[in-house]
C-alpha cells in the first residue's frame, strides 16, 4: 500500500499542471467556450513551463552566504531530504514485507545531494569540527543510515559525525539542532542547505535563537537566454520548486514559526 507524507500531498497540489486541469475542465463544461478562456489556458501553460519566471524570482529569493572560510565552526549542520526515497521504495517492491533501509556500498541520492557533499568537504577541510545530521526516516527509508555509510566511504571518521533528534521537516530540524547545541555547548554553527531553501531554513533557525552562518549549495547562476522562454520539462520543474519554497515560507510565516 503506498505511503504518502504531508510533503507528498503538498507536492501534488503545487504541481503547476494541477490548476491547468481545472481550467480545462471548466472550459469543457461551459456550453460556450470562449476564445478568451482558451487563450488564458494557453498563456498559463506557457508561463509555468518556461524557466524564466523561476530564474527571476529565485535569483531574488536566495540569500547571500555568510560563511567565514578563514574561521572554524563547532559544527556544520546539513539539512535532510538528501536521498531519493522513491528510488528505494520502488526497488523494494520485490520485498513488500520490509522496505530496505539502504544498500551498503551504494547510495542513491536525490537533487539535494550537494548538501551532504559540501558537509563532508567542510569537515575534511577543517572548516567545521563536526558534521551534524538529523535522524531522518521517510517512507520506511532510513536516510541517516545511508548517509553515514556514504560519509564513512568518504573517509569521514565516526567521531566527526553526530546525529541529533528524529525530525520530519525543517522546523523540527531547527528545534532539534537548538536542543542539541544547548546540551553540548556548541556555539558556532554553519548551516548548509540548497540555495532555494536557505531563506526559509535560516529564518526557522533564527526563530529558535540560533544564529548560524550560511553556506548555500546548488545555487543557480544560469543566465537568461532564449532557452529561458522555451517550454520544457525543466521549466515545469523549476516552477514547481519556486512554488514549493514560496508557499512553504508563507505557511510558516502565517503560523508564526518565522
pLDDT at residue 20 greater than cutoff 50: yes
Q: What pLDDT score was predicted for residue 209? A: 95
Q: What is the mean pLDDT of residues 241-253?
A: 92
- Considering only residues 53 and 15, tell me which one the structure prediction assigns the higher pLDDT: 53
Q: What is the pLDDT of residues 146-163, one digit of tens each?
A: 999 999 988 999 999 999
List, in order, residues 6 or more apart from 34 with CB less than 8 Å away.
none
Which residues of the chain are in CATH 3.40.50.620 domains? Answer: 73-217
Q: How far apart are CA 162 and CA 217, in angstroms?
A: 21
Predicted pLDDT at 88: 80
pTM of the model: 0.86
pLDDT at position 168: 86
Using pLDDT thresholds of 50, 70 and 90, give the confidence band for residue 2. Answer: very low
216: confidence class by pLDDT, cuts 50, 70, 90: very high
What are the two backbone dihedrals, phi and then psi, of residue 110, each rounded to the nearest 5 degrees?
-100, -155
How far is 53 from 20, CA to CA, in rounded Å?
17
29-83 pLDDT, tens digit per residue, is 776 667 787 888 889 999 999 999 999 999 999 999 999 999 999 999 999 989 9
Contacts of the segment 238-242: beta carbons below 8 A, 24+ positions apart: 238/51, 238/54, 238/55, 238/58, 239/16, 239/48, 239/49, 239/53, 239/54, 240/11, 240/14, 240/15, 240/16, 241/54, 241/58, 241/196, 242/53, 242/54, 242/57, 242/58, 242/61, 242/196
For domain 73-217, give its CATH number from 3.10.290.10, 3.30.70.2190, 3.40.50.620, 2.60.120.200: 3.40.50.620
| pLDDT score of 158 | 93
* Residue % of the chain over a pLDDT of 70: 88
pLDDT confidence of residue 49: 95
Amino acid at each position: 500500500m503506498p505511503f504518502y507524507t504531508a510533503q507528498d500531498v503538498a507536492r501534488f497540489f503545487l504541481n503547476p499542471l494541477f490548476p491547468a486541469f481545472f481550467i480545462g475542465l471548466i472550459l469543457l463544461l461551459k456550453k460556450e467556450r470562449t476564445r478568451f478562456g482558451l487563450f488564458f489556458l494557453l498563456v498559463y501553460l506557457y508561463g509555468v513551463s518556461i524557466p524564466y519566471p523561476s530564474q527571476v524570482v529565485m535569483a531574488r529569493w536566495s540569500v547571500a552566504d555568510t560563511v567565514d572560510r578563514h574561521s572554524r565552526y563547532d559544527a556544520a549542520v546539513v539539512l535532510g531530504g538528501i536521498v531519493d526515497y522513491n528510488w528505494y521504495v520502488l526497488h523494494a517492491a520485490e520485498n513488500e514485507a520490509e522496505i530496505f533501509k539502504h544498500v551498503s556500498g551504494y547510495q542513491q541520492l536525490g537533487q539535494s545531494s550537494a548538501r551532504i557533499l559540501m558537509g563532508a568537504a567542510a569537515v575534511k577541510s577543517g572548516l567545521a569540527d563536526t558534521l551534524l545530521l538529523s535522524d531522518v526516516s521517510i517512507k520506511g527509508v532510513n536516510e541517516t543510515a545511508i548517509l553515514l555509510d556514504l560519509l564513512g566511504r568518504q573517509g569521514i571518521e565516526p567521531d566527526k559525525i553526530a546525529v541529533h533528534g528524529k525530525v520530519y521537516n525543517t522546523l523540527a530540524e531547527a528545534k532539534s539542532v537548538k536542543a542539541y547545541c544547548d546540551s553540548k555547548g556548541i556555539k558556532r554553527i554553519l548551516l548548509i542547505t540548497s540555495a532555494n531553501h536557505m531563506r526559509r531554513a535560516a529564518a526557522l533557525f533564527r526563530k529558535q535563537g540560533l544564529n548560524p552562518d550560511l553556506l548555500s549549495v546548488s545555487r543557480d547562476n544560469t543566465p537568461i537566454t532564449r532557452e529561458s522562454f522555451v517550454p520544457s520539462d525543466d521549466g515545469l520543474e523549476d516552477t514547481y520548486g519556486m512554488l514549493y519554497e514560496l508557499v512553504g515560507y508563507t505557511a510558516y510565516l502565517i503560523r508564526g514559526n518565522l
